Structure 1
Amino acid sequence: MDKVIANEQINYWAEKIPDRNALYNKAGNTWQTTSWKEYKEKVDAVSRSLIALGHKSDECVGIIAHNCKEFLFSQFGIVGAGGIPAPIYVTSKADQVAYILKHSKSRFVIIEDETQYKKLVQERDNIDVEKVIVLRDFADRDKEWSLSFDEFMQLGNKEHEEERQSRLKALDKDKTMLLIYTSGTTGRPKAVIITHNNLYATGSIAIRRFNLKRTRVVSYLPLSHIAEQIITNAAQLYTGGEVYLCPDMKEVKDYLIEARPNVFLGVPRVWEKFADAVGKQLSQATGMKRKLLDWARKVELACFDKGAKQGKNIQSFSRKLANKLVISKIKERLGFDRIEVAVTGAAPISIETQKFFASIGITIFEVYGMSETSGLISTTVPLKPRFGTVGKSFDELELRIAEDGEILVKGPNMSPGYLHDEENTAELWEGGWLHTGDIGKFDDEGNLVITDRKKNLIITAGGKNIAPQPIEQALHSIPGIGHAVVVGDRRKYLVAVLTLDHENMPAIAEELNIEYQSTSDLATDDSFLAYVEEKVQNDVNTGLAQYQTIKKFYIHPQEFSVETGEMTPTMKVKRKVVIQKYDAEIEKLY
C-alpha cells in the first residue's frame, strides 16, 4: 500500500476489492456487512453533507459514539471534506465534552443517542455548536438544532460533489487528519495532532514487523484512543482487512468467538480477566483430563521458553501432540484459533499473565507507545519475546535514553504537537527529540524496559527517588487485589491504596476459610488483612531496599472504575485522582 492519505486508501480498496466485506456490525443477533464499495460511498456522502451544512476546510467536528460503522463513515467523511475529526469518549461528563468542543472550535458534532444529547443540552450555553447530528434518533430533541443521521445524509447532492473532490485533492500527507484528546490522567486533556503520514507510518511499520497480509480484528476499545485507531483504521487501511465492530466492551468475548480475528489488542485488564476465566475452567478438570491439561501446558510453555531464547519456533512431536489434543481446543473456545498477533498496551502487563497465555499457545506482544507517537515506539520481538520488556524500537525510528533516564524518540509516526498549545508542543519536542515522559533502560539484549512515568517518580522525605510502577505490579499480583497505587511523595515511608478483586474474592475467601455476607466486607476482615499483610511482606517487600518497602496499606472495598472516576476509559488508573479522593484514608496510614 503506497497511498498515504486515508481516504485514498479507502478509494483504493473500493476499486480493487469492491465487493469484499470491510465492516461487520450486529443488528440484534444478525450480522450486517459493509463492502469496500459501500464504505467509500457512505464516506463520500458524509463529506458532501458536511459541505452542504456549511462546514469549512480545516474545521474540527466532534464525534461521540461507541464503535459502529457510522462512526467510521463520519470520521473519514469529515476528513474527506477537508476537516478534522475530534472523537470524544462516550463516558466523558458534560463539562468534559464541552471543553473539547470549545477547545477544538467544533461547530458541528455527531453523537450516538439521547444520552450524549443531554450532555450537550446541559452545556449548550458554553459551546458554539450550531448543529447536532444524531446517529440513533429519538423524539424529544430540538429539531432546529439537530438532525437525524438519515436527514443529514440527504443534505449532500451532486452540486457538492465538485467541492468534495477539490477538498480531497487538497489533502496533504502532513495535514492533520485526527485529534486524539489525551484521557487526562492529569489535568485538562491535550489535543494530540495526528497527520495522514503519522497514521500511515504506524500501520506500515506495525504490519511489516509482524508480517501480516490482511487483518481481521474486533474493534471494541474506544475509537477516541490511539490504540483502537491503529487496530481498526491504520491496520485495515494498509491491508484491506476486515473490522468487526463491538459497541459494548462487555460483549467482546462473544464477538471473538464469532469473528475469530487474526489480530487482537487487549489492555492488561482485559487479558487478566480472560486469564481468570480460562484458569477457573481449567482448574475444574479432574483425573486424567487434569493431568492431560497440565502436561500439555507444561510442554507448550517449555517449547515457548526454549524458542524465545533461540529465536526459533520450536515444533517438537510433544508440542504438536499437545496442540492437537489440548491447546488448539482451548484457543478455539476463546476465538483465538486464527490468532497471529495478540497485543497488549496502554499500561504494563504482568509476566504472570503473559506466561499463562504462553502456556496455552498465545504469545502476547507488549507494545509501547503513546498518543504523541501515534501509538507505537517499540514492541516485543516476534520469535524472541522477553517478558518484562517492551522489546525493541521499530527500524524506522531513532531512540535514545537521556541522562536523566527519559526515553527520547524520532520517526515518521511522531505527532508534530498539540492543537492550540505552543508551550506544551515546545516542551514535547525540546532539542529536536520527542520527550516521552517515561523513564527507561535497555537490558542485556537491547530490549527496552520501562521503569515508570517521569512524573510518577516518588521522592521521599529522605530524598530517595522511587519508581512506583514495579511495586504496584507486585501488589496487583497478590490474589484478591484488584488495583494498587503506591503513595509516599515527601513522606517518611511508602503506603498503598489497594482495592478488592471482586471476581476472584469468593475463591480467596474459601481458601482462607472466611465467612462473609458481602464481598466488600472482606476489606476490613481481620483474616483477609492478615493474609494481605503476609503477602506484602513476603512477596512484595522481599528484595526491595528498605526505603522502597510498603509499610502500611488501605483496602478500598470497591474496584476502581471509569464511572467512579479513578480509571480512564482504557482502564489506566488516575493516580492523582486516587490520591486526592482517598486522602483521608491515606493520612490515617501516617
Structure 2
Amino acid sequence: MSTSPAPTLTATIPHLFERNATEHRDHPALTADGRTWSWGEAAEAVQDLAAGFADLGLQRGQTVVLMMSNGAEQWLADVAATHLGAVPIAVHPASSSGEIRDVTRHSRAHIAVLGNAHHVRRWSAALREPDALGHVIVVDEAAIPAEDTRFRTWATLRERGGGLLRQDPELVRRRTADVVPDDPVTVLYSPDAIGMQRAVVLTHRNVLAAASARQLVTGAPPHSGTLCYLPMAHMSERAGNVYSAIHDVAHVHFCNGIAEAVRVLPQVRPHTFFGVPRMWERLAALARAQPTAHTAAEKHEVLSGLGLDGTVWGASGAAPLRRDLLELFSGLGFDIFETWGSTESSGWATTNRPGAVRFGTVGTPLPGVEVRIDEDGEVLVRGPVVCAGHLQEDGLVRAAAGADGWLRTGDVGHVDDGYLTITDRKSELIINSHGETVAPSVVENALRAHPLIGHALAFGDGRPHVVALVVLDEDTAPAWAAAHGIGTTDLAELARDAQVLAEVDRAVDAANAALGSSGQVRAHRVLDRPWGAAGGELSPALKLRRRVIHTKYAEVLDELYG
C-alpha cells in the first residue's frame, strides 16, 4: 500500500543548507546554552569548520566520528563534514570505551570531534588502537591531554579554517559542488537486542525523502521551532532536527534529556514535536497533576502549561504508546500521532496524521513509501527512504533490501483499511513450551500502566509461563513513597520495601487481569537499580536490549522459575 507519489529528490543536505544561508540569512537556525545562531552565522561556522577539516586531510567518503552532548557544536560539525562529501557518525554519549573502539575501527574514522573531558576519557581505548585516529578535536580546551599531538581545540580548527577561506573563499564550495544525492550522508550504528551490530548507511536522497514526506504530512512552515533533546545518535532525532530542520528551515532548540526537555518545552512551544513514549509518560503525569479540565479554555491552559498549545503534529515512536496516554491527550484536544520506522527506513515509514488518527495503529505510509505484509506476518517496506545498505568490515556496503527493493523490517504486523498495526518484533516473540505465542510488549505495557513501574521485561521463550523483571520509575516511585509515608526515596531501598512490593504485586495482578492466560505473569522480581543506555539495558532510542538483559539477569530469571 502507498498513500501518494514520492517527492522529487535532487537536492543534498549541503545544497539545502546553503539555500537557507542565502535566502533566510537573518532568521534563527540554532539555539543552545543561551545563544542563538542565525542561518547566516551557522553558515559561517560550517564553512570555517569544513575548511579546517579539509586542512586535516578529510576527503570525500571518509568518516568523522562525533561524540558530544546536545548542542550547536555537534550539529555544525555534522553539517560541515557533509559539505566535503565526508560522512559524519554520531556516537551515543553513553557508549562504552569498547563500543567506541569498535565503531572507530569498523568505520575507519579519520577524525573525532569530542565535547569534554568525560568524552576524552571514554575514547582512551580507541586512541590506543594501532590504526588510531589521525586527529581529535575537543570543544573544551581544558580537556586536551598535553602530551598527545593529535589533539587540537575547536577554536583552533575554526580559526585555521577561517584563515584558509580568506585566502581561497571557494575552497569548500568546490567540494560541495561534487556532492550528489546518492552519496552517504551518515552511518548510524543501530543497536539490536545484543548491542551495536548494524552499520546503516543512509544517503542524502534517503534522508531528504523522509524529510520531504514528513513536511507534506505536518505542514511545518519555515522558521517554526523544534526541540532536540535525545542524543543525535538517535535516528529520529537526526531525522527531525538535522535533516528535516534544514529541509524545512526550522529553528532548532537544544537541550539534554527528557527531564530538561519537559522544562524547556513551554519556552520553545514547537510546531512539530517527536516524543518517545517515556516523554509522553512524563508529560501525562504533569497533565494529570492539574485540576480536571472540562472546558476548551481549561484544556488549552493544560496544554499551554506543557508547552504543547502550539504543536500541530506531536508524534510518538520507537516503541508502542499506551492507549490510556493517547486517550488522555485526545481528551485535551491534542492528538498524538504514532509513527513507525527504523534506522534502515531513515527513521520514518508510516504515521498517523491530522484528521486521520486510528488508535493502536502506526498510521499509513508516508508519501512515496510502500508497505506490505509477508506471508509470515513480517512487515516489508519499499521506497526512497530505504537505506543504501550496511557497511561491512571491508568497507563495502551490502544492500539491506532485496533485489526487488523490499526491506524486511523484522517487525510483525497487519494492515486494516490502509492502517498498519505493529504487533511485535519478529525476533522477540515469546513462544512458550506449550507452543503458545506471546507478544512481550503487550505484557510490558500492561505492567507499565502502573505509575510505580518505569520499565518491565517479559521473559518466557521455551519456558512453561511468563515471568517479568520490574524496575521502579526513577521519578514517580520516590513521590509515591513520600505520599505513602515511606521514609526513603532511594530506589534500592524502595525495591525492598514491603509496602512498595505489595503495590507492585497489585500492579501485576491488574496487568494479568487484562492479559490472556498465556501472557499472564506468574512470577516477578523488582530490581534495585534503574535501567539506561549507560548500563546497556536500553538502546539510545530507549528500547529494551532484551538479550543484554537476559544475559545480565540470567540468574534472577532462573530463580523466578525455581
Q: TM-score by structure 2 length?
A: 0.91
Deviation at 1:49, TM superposition (A): 1.1
Deviation at 1:525, TM superposition (A): 4.4
CA deviations over 1:217-243 (Å, ceiling 9, x no partner) = 011111111101121122222221111
**Structure 2 contact 117–143 (Cα < 8 Å) conserved:** no
**Which amino acid is the alignment partner of residue 415 of structure 2?**
F
Pair 1:556 & 2:560 matched: no
Deviation at 1:473, TM superposition (A): 0.9
Work out the CA distance in 2 between the residues paired with 1:140 and 1:502.
35
CA deviations over 1:436-493 (Å, ceiling 9, x no partner) = 00000123x3321111111101122222222211111111113422211111111111
Identity of aligned residues (%): 28
- Alpha-carbon distance change, 73 to 588 in structure 1, aligned in 2, over 3 angstroms: same
Pair 1:13 & 2:20 matched: yes
Partner of 2:388: helix, strand, or coil? coil
Deviation at 1:211, TM superposition (A): 2.1
CA deviations over 1:86-128 (Å, ceiling 9, x no partner) = 1111111111111111111112111111111122234322252
Pair 1:256 & 2:229 matched: no
Partner of 2:280: helix, strand, or coil? helix
Partner of 1:376: helix, strand, or coil? coil
**Which amino acid is the alignment partner of residue 589 of structure 1?**
L
CA deviations over 1:169-210 (Å, ceiling 9, x no partner) = 111111101111113432433211110111111111011012
Equivalent residue for 1:182? 190
Partner of 1:254: helix, strand, or coil? helix
**Which amino acid is the alignment partner of residue 572 of structure 1?**
K
Partner of 1:123: helix, strand, or coil? helix
Moved more, 513-522 or 559-568: 513-522
Work out the CA distance in 2 between the residues paired with 1:377 and 1:129.
36
Equivalent residue for 2:5? none
Partner of 1:272: helix, strand, or coil? helix
Equivalent residue for 2:242? 233
* Match of residue 350, structure 2, among 363, 370, 378: 378
* Correspondences of 1:15-414 after superposition (within 5 Å): 15-26=22-33, 31-126=34-129, 128-138=132-142, 140-142=144-146, 144-156=149-161, 157-158=164-165, 161-214=169-222, 215-280=224-289, 282=290, 285=291, 293-294=292-293, 296=294, 322-324=295-297, 326-414=298-386
Deviation at 1:360, TM superposition (A): 2.4
Deviation at 1:79, TM superposition (A): 0.8
- Alpha-carbon distance change, 75 to 506 in structure 1, aligned in 2, over 3 angstroms: closer
Pair 1:503 & 2:471 matched: no
**Structure 1 contact 428–436 (Cα < 8 Å) conserved:** no
- Alpha-carbon distance change, 517 to 264 in structure 1, aligned in 2, over 3 angstroms: closer
Deviation at 1:511, TM superposition (A): 7.8
Work out the CA distance in 2 between the residues paired with 1:514 and 1:153.
55
- Alpha-carbon distance change, 543 to 49 in structure 1, aligned in 2, over 3 angstroms: closer
Equivalent residue for 1:438? 411
- Alpha-carbon distance change, 510 to 188 in structure 1, aligned in 2, over 3 angstroms: closer
**Structure 2 contact 338–362 (Cα < 8 Å) conserved:** yes
- Alpha-carbon distance change, 339 to 4 in structure 1, aligned in 2, over 3 angstroms: same
Deviation at 1:140, TM superposition (A): 4.8
Equivalent residue for 1:581? 552
- Alpha-carbon distance change, 194 to 519 in structure 1, aligned in 2, over 3 angstroms: closer
Deviation at 1:355, TM superposition (A): 1.5
CA deviations over 1:528-582 (Å, ceiling 9, x no partner) = 44444444344434451x3332211111133322233211233212111211111
Deviation at 1:18, TM superposition (A): 1.2
- Alpha-carbon distance change, 522 to 128 in structure 1, aligned in 2, over 3 angstroms: closer
Deviation at 1:263, TM superposition (A): 1.3
**Which amino acid is the alignment partner of residue 551 of structure 1?**
R
Partner of 2:26: helix, strand, or coil? coil
Deviation at 1:427, TM superposition (A): 6.1
Partner of 1:438: helix, strand, or coil? strand
**Structure 1 contact 494–548 (Cα < 8 Å) conserved:** yes
Deviation at 1:160, TM superposition (A): 5.6
Partner of 2:357: helix, strand, or coil? coil
Partner of 1:171: helix, strand, or coil? coil
Work out the CA distance in 2 between the residues paired with 1:580 and 1:344.
29
CA deviations over 1:52-104 (Å, ceiling 9, x no partner) = 11112110011111221121221111111121001111111111111111111
Pair 1:477 & 2:453 matched: no
Count of residue pairs the alignment pairs up: 547
**Which amino acid is the alignment partner of residue 563 of structure 1?**
A
**Structure 2 contact 135–151 (Cα < 8 Å) conserved:** yes
**Which amino acid is the alignment partner of residue 440 of structure 1?**
G
Work out the CA distance in 1 between the residues paired with 2:393 and 2:110.
20
Deviation at 1:48, TM superposition (A): 1.1
Which structure has the highest helix share of the two?
A: 1
**Which amino acid is the alignment partner of residue 113 of structure 2?**
I
**Structure 2 contact 225–251 (Cα < 8 Å) conserved:** yes
Equivalent residue for 1:304? none
Pair 1:463 & 2:470 matched: no
Gaps of 5+ in 2: 1-7
Which structure has more relative contact order (CA 8 Å, sep 6+)? It is 2
Work out the CA distance in 2 between the residues paired with 1:183 and 1:24.
30
**Which amino acid is the alignment partner of residue 231 of structure 2?**
P
Deviation at 1:35, TM superposition (A): 1.2
**Which amino acid is the alignment partner of residue 406 of structure 1?**
E
Partner of 1:188: helix, strand, or coil? strand
Gaps of 5+ in 1: 286-292, 297-321
Partner of 1:442: helix, strand, or coil? strand
Work out the CA distance in 2 between the residues paired with 1:426 and 1:251.
39
- Alpha-carbon distance change, 188 to 260 in structure 1, aligned in 2, over 3 angstroms: closer
